[in-house]
Structure 1
Amino acid sequence: MRKVTLFPSLLLLGSLSLTTACSTTHSAGSATAAAQGATASPAAAPTVDPTRIKGLTIVNDSSNDRSCPWATSYPSVPGAEAATAAMKKDVDSYLADYLGTDAAGQSTGCGSGSGASQVPELNISFVFLVASGDVLGVRLLTQDHTGTGDGLSTKTYWYDGAAHAAVAASGLVADGSRPAFLAAVKAQLKQREGSDPALVAGLRAADIDDASFTSDGALKLSFDRGTVGVPAGGRMTVVLPRATVTPWLSAFGRRAQQQTVKPGGTLDLGATGTPTAAVPTETASGTDTTDCAKVKCIALTFDDGPAVTYTATLLKYLAQYKARVTFFTVGQNVAAHPELVRAEARAGHEVGNHSWSHPDLTRLTTAQVKQQLDRTSAAIKAATGTAPTLFRPPYGAVDAQVKAATTLSPVLWDVDTEDWKYRDAAKVARTVIDKASRNDVVLMHDIHPTSVAAVPEILKTLTAEGYRFVTVSHLRATL
């Protein structure tokens, strides 16, 4: 995953949206190959069920600034702290470049360059490659729309539970085997149209940062645009068959290959104490009979979750005031924590769709919009038994094409608490109390602890002022 200035490519963003699910049957590599127009692709890696990763949390953050939109997400797995730290370092570095300023305080990021796109966007999401035995593999996918280029870069992060160490992609190959391994990789690259002989000749094992195994044990290497070829050549992929690559693998590489081909079903990285977060047990007491034509209603909405442990805390606060709200959930988080989504529905709250990986939907094709929304709706239905009817477009970005791609009803907001910008519970609470009025829809995020901490004061104050807290659908139906 190189740090470069990139330009939007809708085709590759579609590839990104196809590969960010832990439960998808597509691998990041196979989708990239399809984007290149390959006639055939190697077998995809087996699917990974994230609910089987004990203690898993998803680290999310995002902006709601339409002039500088960004969303980042990566997994934190107990026992694999070194891998998590490596992902965090890269994500933070990408975001700092995107938002950066120079010594004079002038913006150097977020589309400020001379070749920048008019509408910048940074989106970082992930897909699990393997989570079994003592092996963890994760791919981060970064879509950066700020300059010239295809916009997609990828990097894999491996963790060896036996050695308690993060392993670079090149670490899948034994040190003594690297000359033969590199010779085979270069031989394939030299045959590719658009490859650059000088770049290929200079390729080192350390330059390979995206390596993963297919379900039949082959080793697949992916190279970002411009790494081994002319920029117009796009991304390039090399696949070394199992029989060829196995003798070259390191001890960890062999275990990673084995756990990919035949997963053991459980992940044990030697973590001590990975308690599962308690799931709220609040249950709705019947149907909400509030008539918003007769009483003052307000619809609080929470985006980007569910999030451990903040969503669980929020549900307890809401239950204390018998408040009902609407959660606009992100699909990859639903897949990781369906138990929290079930708890939301069980407590009488509405669960809406906020896309799979939080891209700007107006940048996508109709098929890609459907992919983002349909997969999330399917995950919500699997968790709750009921498909959503509402969606909130990330950043509020919606147009005629997006609306035509789905039967879901779009929901924007009347009051933006800007809790994504101001991580201050008192300020968030005061914004809602001062700005919200009857029948307003309020935007908040349950991925921020400060936003969750603001809720008790909001509920207490507005309840005293005669407000009732209802879902968006209930508000619409009773006006």
Structure 2
Amino acid sequence: MRTHARTHALLPSLLLLGALTFTAACAPGSNGAPGAASSDARPGATTSPTRGVDPSRIKGLQIVNDSSEHSSCPFATSYPEVPGAEAMTAAMRKDVEQRLATFRSGVCEGDQGSAGRELNISHRFLVASGDVLGVRLTTADQSGAGSGLSSRTYWYDGADRAHSPAVALVSDGARDAFLTALKDQLTGREGVDATALEGAFSAPDARATVLDDMAFTADGGLKVTVDRGDMGVPAAGEIVVTFSAKTVTPWLSAFGERAQRQTVAPGRSLDLGASSTPVPAAPTHTASGDDDTDCKRVKCLALTFDDGPAAPETATLLTHLARYEARATFFTVGQNVAAHRELVRAEARAGHEIGNHSWNHPDLTKLTPAQVASQLNRTSAAVKAATGKEPTLFRPPYGAINAQVKAATTLSPVLWDVDTEDWKYRDAAKVARAVIDKAQRNDVVLLHDIHPTSVAAVPEILRTLTARGYHFVTVSHLRATL
């Protein structure tokens, strides 16, 4: 296989904390990303963690993903789409698309000073129970000043069928008492500027911007996370104030009380009043034994698909592959595995290989060894939970790899020979032609199963190259038979 040399600019260590904040403290296989633990030791504060949510139990859930796989334009974004919560989905979509458009125009379209910058937006479910849905989006945007780290929570009230800002967890009548207590907790904190603090609470619009990340802890306390850039000079990390359940409960709105209750004692189902919650069935294709293709004697090609699984795209892709008895390698993203375990099981059952593509697609060369290990170990654990088998291969996002990344894992890295650039060109015919024209014997081809146009290109790829005598195998099979 051809090899490729890649170089990647390293950013200062402060900029690397974004990925750590939403990965390092999670146990393997858990959902999402905790905020920093509260450092508040004053009366009424607690360090109780937030409760995890199993996203695979949310009926009809889809994860909206977008990413590049190119080091000159490194971005990866994701947010959930839950039936019934259309208004909340629209709010997340608007915010994500605005951030991505700004990033692409400033970084991907020829900005001379953009080398090494990266945008990553990941999601975590805070609660998905009864008629309450809560989601946190965490953004590491290294195209701006300071750490580039920020987070925002989105709330949906199924009873009122309305998207609510975080401040709606507190009742109007108790808002002043809540704000006074919060200001008291923030006053004197390291990095908090008194003038900025006063300005942040001076007007409703300002308060809504600053207080956009609020979530309940497992024991009913309320954790308020404030981006340091909102309180003073931009710096890495965030400021967290956590009020105990006893302190915060009298301040809660009716919706806040339900959100607190559903977080502390979640039910087994989520009902947001959706007219229907279609759940596409996972394909049941089953491999007919081990692959006996000898790549020394016949022409082989390894198709690889990054960033999934995605519903319904991955299911459609599995059907295309089964029609031609083709095997492939799926480099899965951990947060998507957690949401769609049934699709990962279907991939394995059909004889495909499951690889590791990190938890939420950061550039691993910008992380510490502990962060790299967390990204990969959590994803491997999620894959094992779905299939019973841990991956042996990993694909570093953007192909970014160095000695430190290699030393942080026992997984074997896999890059590629043919880049279809399907993340840039959402054109099935163009993607198919890129593979058909460029692929040579024993090549590894890069595609993404999160894009419908890429999935739609696969039948033409398989039909044309099968007629030319190619056999489609997994990366491990290709390596083992050369």
Q: Same fold (TM over 0.5)?
A: yes
1:279-290 matched pairs, under 5 angstroms: 279-290=282-293
- Matched residue type, 1:91: V
* Correspondence 1:142 to 2:139: yes
8 Å contact kept, 1:117–1:147: no
Provide runs of 4+ in structure 1 moved above 6 Å. 19-22, 111-114
1:29 is paired with a residue whose SS is coil
Matched residues in 1 for 2:92 and 2:282: separation? 28
2:316 is paired with a residue whose SS is helix
C-alpha deviation, 1:28, in angstroms: 2.4
| 1:250-280: CA deviation from partner (whole Å, max 9, x where unpaired) | 1000000111111112111011111211110
Matched residues in 1 for 2:417 and 2:432: separation? 16
8 Å contact kept, 2:36–2:238: no
1:149 is paired with a residue whose SS is coil
What does residue 118 of structure 2 align with?
Answer: 121
What does residue 105 of structure 1 align with?
Answer: none
Q: Which moved more, 1:288-297 or 1:144-153?
A: 144-153
Matched residues in 1 for 2:288 and 2:194: separation? 69
1:172-251 matched pairs, under 5 angstroms: 172-204=169-201, 205-207=207-209, 208-232=211-235, 234-251=237-254
TM-score by length of 2: 0.92
Matched residues in 1 for 2:391 and 2:293: separation? 21
8 Å contact kept, 2:24–2:370: no
Alignment RMSD (CA, Å): 2.2
| 1:106-160: CA deviation from partner (whole Å, max 9, x where unpaired) | xx3459779x563010000011100001000000000011243112100000000
What does residue 272 of structure 1 align with?
Answer: 275
1:387 is paired with a residue whose SS is coil
What does residue 10 of structure 1 align with?
Answer: 16
2:477 aligned to 456, 474, 477, which one?
474
1:353 aligned to 343, 346, 356, which one?
356
| 1:61-102: CA deviation from partner (whole Å, max 9, x where unpaired) | 0012211200000100000011111100000011111112xx
Matched residues in 2 for 1:62 and 1:7: separation? 23
* Correspondence 1:154 to 2:159: no
2:266 is paired with a residue whose SS is coil
* Correspondence 1:90 to 2:104: no
What does residue 253 of structure 1 align with?
Answer: 256
Matched residues in 2 for 1:470 and 1:256: separation? 48
What does residue 3 of structure 1 align with?
Answer: none
Matched residues in 1 for 2:441 and 2:269: separation? 50
1:403 is paired with a residue whose SS is helix
C-alpha deviation, 1:193, in angstroms: 2.4
What does residue 8 of structure 2 align with?
Answer: none
What does residue 163 of structure 1 align with?
Answer: 160
Matched residues in 2 for 1:21 and 1:84: separation? 27
Matched residues in 2 for 1:361 and 1:306: separation? 21
What does residue 60 of structure 1 align with?
Answer: 65
Matched residues in 1 for 2:36 and 2:346: separation? 35
Q: Which moved more, 1:239-248 or 1:318-327?
A: 239-248
C-alpha deviation, 1:9, in angstroms: 2.0
8 Å contact kept, 2:23–2:34: no
- Matched residue type, 1:73: S
8 Å contact kept, 2:447–2:454: yes
Matched residues in 2 for 1:400 and 1:190: separation? 44
C-alpha deviation, 1:176, in angstroms: 1.4
Judging changes above 3 Å, is the alpha-carbon distance between structure 1 residues 20 and 313 closer, same or farther for their aligned structure 2 residues? farther
Judging changes above 3 Å, is the alpha-carbon distance between structure 1 residues 81 and 26 closer, same or farther for their aligned structure 2 residues? closer
TM-score by length of 1: 0.92
1:29 aligned to 8, 26, 35, which one?
35
- Matched residue type, 1:181: F
8 Å contact kept, 1:417–1:443: yes
Matched residues in 2 for 1:364 and 1:355: separation? 12
Equivalent pairs, count: 463
Q: Return 5+ residue gaps in structure 1 as ranges.
A: 1-5, 101-107
8 Å contact kept, 1:7–1:117: no
Judging changes above 3 Å, is the alpha-carbon distance between structure 1 residues 41 and 123 closer, same or farther for their aligned structure 2 residues? farther
Matched residues in 1 for 2:392 and 2:437: separation? 30
- Matched residue type, 2:305: F
Judging changes above 3 Å, is the alpha-carbon distance between structure 1 residues 232 and 54 closer, same or farther for their aligned structure 2 residues? closer
C-alpha deviation, 1:418, in angstroms: 0.8
C-alpha deviation, 1:21, in angstroms: 8.6
* Correspondence 1:330 to 2:347: no
What does residue 439 of structure 1 align with?
Answer: 442
C-alpha deviation, 1:22, in angstroms: 10
- Matched residue type, 1:24: S
| 1:189-237: CA deviation from partner (whole Å, max 9, x where unpaired) | 1131221111222233423100011111111111112212333485211
- Matched residue type, 2:138: L
What does residue 103 of structure 1 align with?
Answer: none
Identify the structure with bigger relative contact order (alpha carbons < 8 Å, sequence gap 6+): 2
What does residue 395 of structure 2 align with?
Answer: 392
C-alpha deviation, 1:8, in angstroms: 5.3
Matched residues in 2 for 1:137 and 1:81: separation? 13
1:30 is paired with a residue whose SS is coil
What does residue 9 of structure 2 align with?
Answer: none
| 1:398-421: CA deviation from partner (whole Å, max 9, x where unpaired) | 111101111110000000011111
- Matched residue type, 1:195: V
* Correspondence 1:366 to 2:383: no
| 1:347-385: CA deviation from partner (whole Å, max 9, x where unpaired) | 000000000000000000001000000110111111111
- Matched residue type, 2:428: A
1:178 is paired with a residue whose SS is helix
C-alpha deviation, 1:20, in angstroms: 7.9
Matched residues in 2 for 1:328 and 1:37: separation? 43
Judging changes above 3 Å, is the alpha-carbon distance between structure 1 residues 50 and 459 closer, same or farther for their aligned structure 2 residues? same
1:455 aligned to 437, 455, 458, which one?
458
What does residue 409 of structure 2 align with?
Answer: 406
Matched residues in 1 for 2:32 and 2:78: separation? 19
8 Å contact kept, 1:22–1:49: no
1:423 aligned to 388, 409, 426, which one?
426
